[in-house]
Amino acid sequence: MRIGAAREPAPPLWKQAVVSGLAIFPISLAGNGVLGPLLLSAPLLVRTLVFTVLFSAAMTFVAIPVWNRILFRWLHPATRVGERTP
């Protein structure tokens, strides 16, 4: 992004929540399916730490950027000429 460049307004929070849900579901499902059995005997604190670190990284660097690209037009619909934003 260029310094001083105009930024688009953020999408409504409900749209951001939909994107987050779409992103976290497959990560959570796969993580619990793969890591769950491997960490079954680990203490709760260790399991929680592993899931938190891996899920946060996957969400931040993979899932959210991918879903934002896929749903860009829905998240940022074109503003019509003469239409005012609140």
Q: Is the dihedral of CA 35, 37, 40, 42 positive or negative?
A: negative
Q: Per-domain residue ranges for the chain?
A: 13-75
List CB contacts of 28: < 8 A, sequence separation 6 or more: 55
The per-residue pLDDT for range 12-69, each reduced to its tens digit, is 999 999 999 999 999 999 999 999 999 999 999 999 999 999 999 999 999 999 999 9
Q: How does residue 7 score in pLDDT terms, banded at 50, 70 and 90? A: confident
